[in-house]
Amino acid sequence: MAFHEKQLPADAPIADKALNWIDARFPVTSTWKAHLSEYYAPKNFNFWYAFGSLALLVLVIQIVTGIFLVMHYKPDAALAFASVEYIMRDVPWGWLVRYMHSTGASAFFIVVYLHMVRGLLYGSYRKPRELVWLFGVGIFLCLMGEAFMGYLLPWGQMSYWGAQVIVNLFGAIPFIGPDLSLWIRGDYVVSDATLNRFFSFHVIAIPLVLIGLVVAHIIALHEVGSNNPDGVEIKEKLDAKGVPLDGVPFHPYYSVHDVMAVAVFLIVFSAVVFFGPEMGGYFLEYNNFVPADSLKTPPHIAPVWYFTPYYSILRAVTSDFIVYLQVGVAAFVALLWLKSSLNSMLKIAALVIGLAIIGAMFVFDAKFFGVVLMGVSVVILAGLPWLDHSKVKSIRYRPSWHKYIYILFAITFVVLGYLGVQPPSAIGGLVSKVCTFIYFGFFLLMPWWSAAGTFKPVPDRVVYHPH
Angle value at C-alpha 368, between 362 and 371, nearest 5 degrees: 140
In this structure, are residues 396 and 232 in contact, taking their beta carbons and an 8 Å threshold? Answer: no
Lowest mean pLDDT among 6-20, 98-112, 298-312: 6-20
The predicted-structure confidence for 375-410, as pLDDT tens digits, reads as follows 999 999 999 999 999 999 999 999 999 999 999 999
On whether 217 is known to bind a ligand per the annotation, the reply is yes
DSSP secondary structure letter of residue 287? G
Helix ranges, 225-318 (H): 255-275, 308-316
On whether 257 is known to bind a ligand per the annotation, the reply is no
Average pLDDT over residues 360-387: 93
Per-residue pLDDT, 414: 97
308-449 is a CATH 1.20.810.10 domain: yes
Number of C-beta neighbours around residue 54 at 10 A: 23
Average pLDDT over residues 233-248: 89
Query: In this prediction, what percent of the chain has a pLDDT beyond 90?
Result: 75
Torsion angles phi and psi, residue 345, rounded to 5: -65, -45
Per-residue pLDDT, 151: 93
Per-residue pLDDT, 2: 58
With 60 as the cut, is the pLDDT of residue 1 above it? no
Per-residue pLDDT, 3: 66
Higher pLDDT, 30 or 73: 73
The predicted-structure confidence for 16-50, as pLDDT tens digits, reads as follows 889 888 988 898 988 988 888 889 999 999 999 99
Looking at the DSSP bridge assignments, the partners of residue 42 are 247
Torsion angles phi and psi, residue 465, rounded to 5: -115, 110
DSSP secondary structure letter of residue 248? E
Provide the whole-model pTM. Answer: 0.94
Per-residue pLDDT, 467: 55
Average pLDDT over residues 211-228: 95
The predicted-structure confidence for 406-437, as pLDDT tens digits, reads as follows 999 999 999 999 999 999 899 999 999 999 99
Asked whether the domain spanning 308-449 has the same topology as the one spanning 36-289, the reply is: yes
On whether 4 is known to bind a ligand per the annotation, the reply is no
**Within 13 Å, how many C-alpha atoms sit on residue 10's CB side?**
0
Number of C-beta neighbours around residue 297 at 10 A: 13
DSSP secondary structure letter of residue 27? -
Per-residue pLDDT, 196: 95
On whether 465 is known to bind a ligand per the annotation, the reply is no
Q: How far is CA 408 from the centre of its chain?
A: 20
On whether 222 is known to bind a ligand per the annotation, the reply is yes
Superfamily of domain 36-289: Cytochrome Bc1 Complex; Chain C (1.20.810.10)
In this structure, are residues 45 and 52 in contact, taking their beta carbons and an 8 Å threshold? Answer: no
Average pLDDT over residues 230-254: 90
Per-residue pLDDT, 344: 86
Please report, for the chain, the start and end positions of each structural domain, with discontinuous segments joined by +.
Answer: 36-289, 308-449
Instruction: Tell how many helices (H) and how many strands (E) occur in the chain.
Output: 19, 2
Per-residue pLDDT, 300: 83
In this structure, are residues 48 and 122 in contact, taking their beta carbons and an 8 Å threshold? Answer: yes
